[in-house]
Amino acid sequence: MTAAAHAYAAIVGARFRMLLQYRAAALAGFATNLFWGFIRVMIFDAFYRSSAAPQPMSREDVMGYIWLGQAMFALLPWNTDPDVRGMIRTGTVAYELVRPLDLYALWFSRGLAARLAPTLLRAVPMLVIAWLFLGLQLPPSLASGAAWVAATAGALLLSSALATLLTLSLLWTLSGEGVTRIVPPLVYMLSGMVIPLPLYPDWAQPLLDFLPFRGLVDTPFRLYLGHIPPEHVGAVLAHQLVWTAALVLLGRRLLARATRRLVVQGG
Amino acid sequence: MPQIVVENLTKTFRVAERDPGIGGALRGLVRRRHRAVAALGGVSFCLEPGELVGYIGPNGAGKSTTVKVLAGILVPDGGRCEVLGRVPWKERIAHVAQIGVVFGQRTQLWWDLPVVESFDLLRDIYRVPKADYARSRNELIALLALEPLLDVPVRQLSLGQRMRCDLAAALLHAPRLLFLDEPTIGLDAVSKLAVRDFIRTLNRERGVTVILTTHDMDDIEALCTRVIVIAGGKIASDGTLEALRARVTRERWLLVDLEDADATVTDPDAEVIRRDGHRIVLAFDPDRVATAVLIARLAARHAVRDLFVQNPPIEEIIARLYGGEEPARP
Amino acid sequence: MRRDDAPGLYLRYVGISLRGQMQYRASFWMLTFGNLFAAGVEFLGIWALFGRFGSLSGWSLAEVALFYGIVNTAFALAEGIGRGFDTFPGMVKGGDFDRLLLRPRPTALQVAGQEVQLMRVGRLLQGLVVLGWAMTALPGAWTAPKLLLLTGVIGGGAYLFIGLFVLQATLSFWTVETLEIMNTVTYGGTETGQFPLTIYRPWFRRFFTFVVPLGAMNYLPAPLLLDRDAGGIPTWVSWGSPAAGVLFLLVALRLWKIGVRHYTSTGS
């Protein structure tokens, strides 16, 4: 068990070092992020100035929601594992599938690392800048802050489970080009990354509540803002974890089926 | 009137340095160190029309830098360079229309297209007149036996087939000058021979000047009348293969197969440089001891199964020229 | 130097590129559908916001939809035509640019022809659908001069985006790591241009009017296209707005030449 933990820690560490080497890329990415944030702030600002009608979220909350979104953007399941993609292109994935190790756990942890490292590298400076200069408030209470941290951890697991599913889809679609073009925009829309979910029509809310994507962005952010009171953190975590468990089960199923197919067909 | 004149060519690159580890990466965030690397430190040579020249040297010696300058895709820092009467990088488009280039490592053909369509597209790119194109295409197809490959998408070709197609592609516009960079790399023995035969024919019968950079000394031995060796950005030697040999060493090798694999062999005038089972390789200087004398001495002391004399392989000679290191690749 | 057959060669490249792509037909349809879908979802978001807020600083949903349709159609055209520049950084990294330098044709022409993407049909369709809807939903009649201006504005926008792709490719001669910054004006530009630029802060609007002339496919021709009050925009500016993109592309191609010179002096 500890050996496995070490192996996974090594994967995360390697990822960090690789990312750090791209200092310029990191800076450029940060500037781009900031720019996108400004565009979105201005658009929502204009909408709020256009209507005096009461809205499900205050203007200030939406601004906070946007900057949190810019900070946590890398957390979303937006791509497939490039190494697995390479293995499938070259055909070496067959060896990988028949190796005596828990492949799902390995791919999941790679997916986790692929989200965690860039999220931390991008989120920390973005949050600091947003707190200092862009009017992002600290959580209204310690409880809200703690609830946000817990829900972000839940979001990370949920996102990794989704990303692993994307990667697994490569075993069928091979290139994954179609999947990575259809799924991420859908996830952005349904998670709240593009438009804060409470601003969608009221009739759509029950559906959004049910789907897993809310747990990636919307519920953690609203816990941070106090828009969801911290005592509801249990329900949020339960929603995230039940979905994570379901997606992990589905992923393991799919992987087992891919392996079986491979063994039967002999590659 | 030489086709290529290179005089005192110099080129220096700036290379960023990175420290290893997380600490290094973090330091790299703040500032980066640069190091100047002299790729060419005053290279000069001339080439007459119709020559077939091997341009060799270890990795990083300045081979590909020279070729890039000659091909017009790299501007040197100093020195003079004229190819077919033009300064390559000053008149790029006119210049490259007159030369052909083949990189062994990458193809210039369109990956998903049948070979013949790549040829047709190249005709349009080089603006080859229809009649000239048809003639040169058909000749190349015959010479390189490409007929069965024409309708095959490039990605389905073997390496040897692809190289033959790439050679044809580089010659459709009938260039007077051909640059070949590692044309036999990774090829099987049969393909290597086919490629060498073709290059020889091209040079002897059509008078195309060929500059060949390669690590394969068999290519050099089979094809080149002249060898230019570059090491550390400077020309280390320029002349015939024999002259190169003579310049470095007069040494000969005596290869002896003994009956007794464990026999101890010593001789005052020869040095055992290699031992492999029954076979022993002795290096000697024919000025110091006549070959016949050495053979007689050995035969008197040991039961000899077989023996023969040879020149040291060209790799060894080159390696000594670079300064005693092993050849980069056999 | 004869340049007259350059369009012919470009069309040859297009043909070759399309034929190559049709060998992967399944993947082609997947990508087309994916693009159509992705962009379609985006417009639903705008529709939802109008549902909540009613209007945007005095602009109606139909008017915003027109901007949205223009910018997305222009971008899709640019992506289709100038895709070679978009993927160019990978080409420089892999050392494949040398290959183009070895051919007796202008490099920009070869890069543009390197890859022509049929896949962008999805975004194009979606842009056209929104554009078509906006045109029917708007109260004003679509007279011939207005249609002409609309076509010109979309064409000018496509030139502008191609110019941005050329700039991005030019930048990659110096750095491939900071290219993401160009996304702010390419993808960020489409995002920005989906809304009337008048809703943004003045410095931002000025940037996207005078530096990157996105305004030329947005609020500058709007008075004529939407029969709105000119709001101080001279009529000749509205009519002349398609020219901005063309000028931008010419400047970008100038810089490209400087980039190529830099490349050939550093060899990387």
Mean pLDDT by 10 residues, chain B (330 residues): 90 72 56 75 92 87 89 91 92 92 86 88 91 93 92 89 93 93 87 91 92 86 89 87 75 86 83 85 86 88 86 72 47
Distances (CA, A) of A1 to A103, A106, A163, C155: 15, 13, 24, 61
3-class DSSP assignment, residue A211: coil
pLDDT of residue B26: 56
Decide if A17 and B25 are in contact by the 8 Å CB cutoff: yes
pLDDT of residue B328: 39
Pairing state between β B270-276 and B304-310: unpaired
Decide if A20 and B18 are in contact by the 8 Å CB cutoff: no
pLDDT of residue C4: 58
Q: How far apart (Å, rounded) are the C-alpha atoms in residues A257 and A254?
A: 5
pLDDT of residue A60: 93
Question: Looking at the predicted structure, is the pLDDT value of residue A199 above 60?
Answer: yes
pLDDT band at A130 (very low <50, low <70, confident <90, very high): very high
CB pairs under 8 A between B and C: 73
Q: How far apart (Å, rounded) are the C-alpha atoms in residues A156 and C71?
A: 35
3-class DSSP assignment, residue C267: coil
Which has more pLDDT, B134 or A79? B134
Q: How far apart (Å, rounded) are the C-alpha atoms in residues B122 and B120?
A: 5
> A232 CB contacts (<8 Å, ≥6 apart)?
A223
Chain B residue numbers with beta carbons less than 8 Å from the beta carbon of C259 are: none
In contact, B223 and B196? CB cutoff 8 Å = yes
pLDDT of residue A163: 93
Decide if B29 and A20 are in contact by the 8 Å CB cutoff: yes
Which has more pLDDT, C125 or A13? C125
Where is mean pLDDT largest: A80-94, B222-236, C45-59, C83-97? C45-59
Where is mean pLDDT largest: A49-53, B123-127, C158-162? C158-162
Q: What is the pLDDT of residues A214-244, one digit of tens each?
A: 999 999 999 999 999 999 999 999 999 999 9
pLDDT of residue B128: 92
- CA A221 to chain CA centroid, Å, is 13
Give C40 to chain A, closest Cα distance, Å: 10
Give C6 to chain A, closest Cα distance, Å: 33
Question: pLDDT above 90 covers what percent of chain C?
Answer: 52
ipTM (interface predicted TM): 0.86
> B114 CB contacts (<8 Å, ≥6 apart)?
B150, B151, B152, B153, B154
Give C22 to chain B, closest Cα distance, Å: 10
Of A32, A178, A195, the CB nearest to C184: A32
Beta-sheet strand order (sheet of B226-231): B99-103, B177-181, B209-213, B52-56, B226-231, B234-239
Angle at B118 between CA C98 and CA C267, to 5 degrees: 0
Q: How far apart (Å, rounded) are the C-alpha atoms in residues A188 and A195?
A: 9
Of B14, B108, B111, the CB nearest to C99: B108
pLDDT of residue A245: 97
Report the chain C residue with the minimal C-alpha distance to residue B64: C267
CA atoms within 13 A on the CB side of B326: 3
Touching subunits for chain C (3+ Cβ pairs under 8 A)? A, B
pLDDT of residue A131: 93
pLDDT of residue B28: 54
Chain A residue numbers with beta carbons less than 8 Å from the beta carbon of C52 are: 47, 51, 55, 199, 201
Report the pLDDT averaged over residues C162-186. Answer: 85
Give C112 to chain B, closest Cα distance, Å: 14
Tell me which long-range contacts B24-28 makes (C-beta under 8 A, separation of at least 24): B25/A17, B25/A20, B25/A21, B25/A23, B26/A20, B28/A20, B28/A21, B28/A23
- H or E stretch at B82: strand B78-83
Decide if B127 and C104 are in contact by the 8 Å CB cutoff: yes
pLDDT of residue A108: 92
> A116 CB contacts (<8 Å, ≥6 apart)?
A12, A156
Q: Which of residues 199-218 of A touch C (CB under 8 A)?
A: 199-201
Would you call B26 an interface residue with chain A, using a CB distance cutoff of 8 Å? yes
> C192 CB contacts (<8 Å, ≥6 apart)?
A39, C200, C204, C208, C214
Of C27, C55, C181, the CB nearest to A177: C27
Q: How far apart (Å, rounded) are the C-alpha atoms in residues B158 and A114?
A: 37
Question: Looking at the predicted structure, is the pLDDT value of residue A91 above 90?
Answer: no
Where is mean pLDDT largest: A241-250, A253-262, B159-168? A241-250
pLDDT of residue B325: 44
Q: How far apart (Å, rounded) are the C-alpha atoms in residues B187 and B216?
A: 11
In contact, A147 and A234? CB cutoff 8 Å = no
Question: Looking at the predicted structure, is the pLDDT value of residue A23 above 80?
Answer: no
Q: Which of residues 95-154 of A touch C (CB under 8 A)?
A: none
Would you call C31 an interface residue with chain A, using a CB distance cutoff of 8 Å? yes
Residue B326: exposure state from Cβ atoms within 10 A (0-12, 13-18, ≥19): exposed
Would you call A17 an interface residue with chain B, using a CB distance cutoff of 8 Å? yes
In contact, C213 and C244? CB cutoff 8 Å = yes
Residue at A38: amino acid letter: F
Decide if B124 and C12 are in contact by the 8 Å CB cutoff: yes
Residue B103 phi, psi dihedral angles, 5° rounding:
-100, 120
Report the pLDDT averaged over residues C234-240. Answer: 92
Structure tokens belonging to residue A4:
């496995």
Give C201 to chain A, closest Cα distance, Å: 7
Where is mean pLDDT largest: A16-20, A21-25, B69-73? B69-73
In contact, A218 and A151? CB cutoff 8 Å = no
Chain B residue numbers with beta carbons less than 8 Å from the beta carbon of A23 are: 25, 28-29
Residue A207: exposure state from Cβ atoms within 10 A (0-12, 13-18, ≥19): exposed
3-class DSSP assignment, residue B37: strand
Which has more pLDDT, C65 or A5? C65
pLDDT of residue B250: 75
Q: How far apart (Å, rounded) are the C-alpha atoms in residues A8 and A105?
A: 9
Angle at A40 between CA A35 and CA A46, to 5 degrees: 130
Pairing state between β B209-213 and B52-56: parallel
Give A245 to chain C, closest Cα distance, Å: 28
pLDDT of residue B324: 46
From B77, B107, B69, B50, select the one nearest B226 (Cα to Cα): B50
Burial C38-53 (b: 16+ CB within 10 A, else e): bbbbbbeebebbbebb
